[in-house]
Amino acid sequence: MNYTLHQLQIFLKVAELKSITKASEELFLSQPAVSMQLKKFQDQFSIPLTEVVGRQLYVTDFGNEIAEAAEKILNEVEAINYKTLSRQGQLAGKLKIAIVSTAKYAMPYFLTGFMQRHKGIDLEMDVTNKAGVIRSLENNDVDFAMVSVLPEHLSLNQVELMSNKLYLVGSSHTEMGSTRVTKAIFEKYPLLYREKGSATRSAMESFLTKLNVPNKKKIELTSNEALKQSLIAGLGISIMPLIGLKNELKDKELHIIPFKGLPIKTNWNLIWLKSKNLSPVASAYLNYVQTEKEKIINETFNWYEAYD
């Protein structure tokens, strides 16, 4: 047999996603290139690795065994690379972080300096909703997570990073009528929500429940970007984290609607399991965050504090 590490990587990704198209997107390769390497890999086995039924690709039992072996081989190769860098005096390894989707507007700034200092570190960052982040923590799949609402059922350590503020937001299509906004605005305009499992949605629902606001029409969107574009288009109003609105507020595509009881204030936190044995890479990152967080906030998020 004469397969390459590249072919192992491609086959493993296809086996994980059960789609050549999705695998090509994640690997930043063209679909024909993935198909060609997959065929070359298959040609080395007399037993099928995959099969197509209808338009769906399935991995055979034999294919799953090969995928498991491929993962082990690739992990060993990765370990060799890290050990080589360590011998050369570099901090090397993998840093795994899960963040709620809104945190993508903040977390990269708490990573950039660290990644630039340590070229031997690979980063895996999963951007999901609150439920997905909690799952990653429960399964011990990540070193750290960034959330605004702490999961109460887990025993956690935390570092408070910065404030999280949620405001009522609308576009130029939202006619204020006067500077004094009452809860009648929630009856006039449809409410735009994030998906179930989102911390932003939970905070919004709790606030509206306290106001006893009747919810006549609800629109649900599964990403912050989709929600923002829907607001800009005039589909309705929403309660959203300020952290993701910098450009839209600056360009006056969206505006904050003053309302009594808002903003809702929480904090962005870096969290990890108390039972977690942090790797040298994770420990180095924790030290970096604790040392540099104030500087990062002052240099990057000064616009954010102006809304206090």
Q: Which sequence spans correspond to the domains of the chain?
A: 5-69, 90-162+267-306, 164-266
What does the mean pLDDT of the chain come to? 88
Residue range 172-184: average pLDDT?
72
Helix axes 5-17, 20-27, angle to 10 degrees: 130
Domains 5-69 and 90-162+267-306 share a fold: no
pTM above 0.75, yes or no: no
pLDDT at residue 280, as a whole number: 86
CA 278 vs CA 95, 144, 158, 159, 195: distances in Å: 10, 10, 13, 15, 32
pLDDT at 87 over 70: no
Q: Which CATH architecture fits 90-162+267-306? A: 3-Layer(aba) Sandwich (3.40)
Model confidence pLDDT, tens digit, residues 214-259: 666 689 998 889 999 999 999 999 999 999 999 999 999 999 999 9
Omega cis (within 30) before 241: no
pLDDT at residue 61, as a whole number: 93
Q: Are 252 and 173 in contact (CB under 8 A)?
A: no
Q: Are 192 and 235 in contact (CB under 8 A)?
A: yes
Task: Locate 81 and state its tokens.
Answer: 């690379």
Closest CA to 143 of 269, 289, 277: 277
Q: What are phi and psi of 109, to 5 degrees?
A: -70, -25
CA dihedral defined by 92, 94, 96, 101, rounded to 10 degrees? Answer: 90
pLDDT at residue 182, as a whole number: 82
CATH class of 5-69: mainly alpha
**CB within 8 Å of 98: residues ≥ 6 apart:** 125, 126, 128, 132, 133, 136, 137, 141, 142, 144, 145, 146
**CATH numeric code, 164-266:** 3.40.190.10
